[in-house]
Structure 1
């Protein structure tokens, strides 16, 4: 192997440890910044379509509480995460359907906890939950 070529295994490990969207793998970001790399600067989930995220309804606990399976290969995985009903405080994109969310729409969001989950800024429209089938 030429000295100028990077070993594919080393590249794979670097991408997995720092996130596939980081422009400079060698920079010294904090762990929190690295795990939120796919979300952008503010920690909110990206608004574009995501091929690496799978969001599934597991159970409707009550009319205002659901259990969600959130699997994102670039940031986090929650096998059974509790989401609470609320009104959207900001506009965004539904993590389940990809539909536009407007401020004031009825949504579900991850339950508040300390430390905050990586996907704390994510939202799912209540209408997407209403039509989803539990897995």
Structure 2
């Protein structure tokens, strides 16, 4: 059953446009297409469009512990994260380092955004190579 929103009907009348037509009702959950993993990257299609744009997105990196860092970054399309926790681990897929732009191979030591629960951050697929970060940390001390 299509239901007309009274507010949109009023706004349409004020603008002397054609009457507001109700949007089609959403597809039932059982009929929605399932999100599938992409064979090459392991990325969830439809949920995460792309990784961090480039190193200019990163504003600050601060060591929190020996295996976690806090990253502040922003991108006009992905949003803004203040002190996002990233944990050290190993690259699950090939990619590109968000800090240096260097290719990342599967198995390389990297830092990735930490996420809990079912909600993934917009940059869930991003990686920063651990070796350049460690080298810079020790050169500053």
With the shorter chain as reference, the TM-score category is: 0.5 to 0.7
Q: CA–CA distance in 1 between the matches of 2:115 and 2:105?
A: 21
* 2:78 pairs with 1:79: no
Number of matched pairs: 94
Answer 1 or 2: higher relative contact order, Cα 8 Å, separation at least 6: 1
Deviation at residue 113 of structure 1 after TM alignment:
2.2
The match for 2:128 is: 124
Q: Structure 2: how far apart are the matches of 1:78 and 1:118?
A: 10
Aligned position for 1:66: 69
Give the gaps of 5 or more residues in structure 1. Answer: 1-38
Q: What SS does structure 2 have at the residue aligned with 1:128?
A: helix
The corresponding residue for 2:103 is 100
For structure 2, the residue ranges without an aligned partner over 5 or more in a row are 1-42
Between Structure 1 and Structure 2, which shows a larger proportion of strand residues? Answer: 1
Change (3 A) 1:127 1:44: farther
Q: Give TM-score, length-normalised by structure 2.
A: 0.56
C-alpha separation in 1, matches of 2:104 and 2:111: 11
Q: CA RMSD in A?
A: 2.8
How do residues 1-135 of structure 1 correspond to structure 2 at under 5 angstroms? 41=45, 43=48, 45-46=50-51, 50=54, 53-114=56-117, 115-132=119-136
CA distance in 1, matches of 2:77, 2:136: 24
Whole-Å separation in 1 of the counterparts to 2:75 and 2:57? 6
How far off its partner does 1:57 sit? 3.8
TM-score by length of 1: 0.59
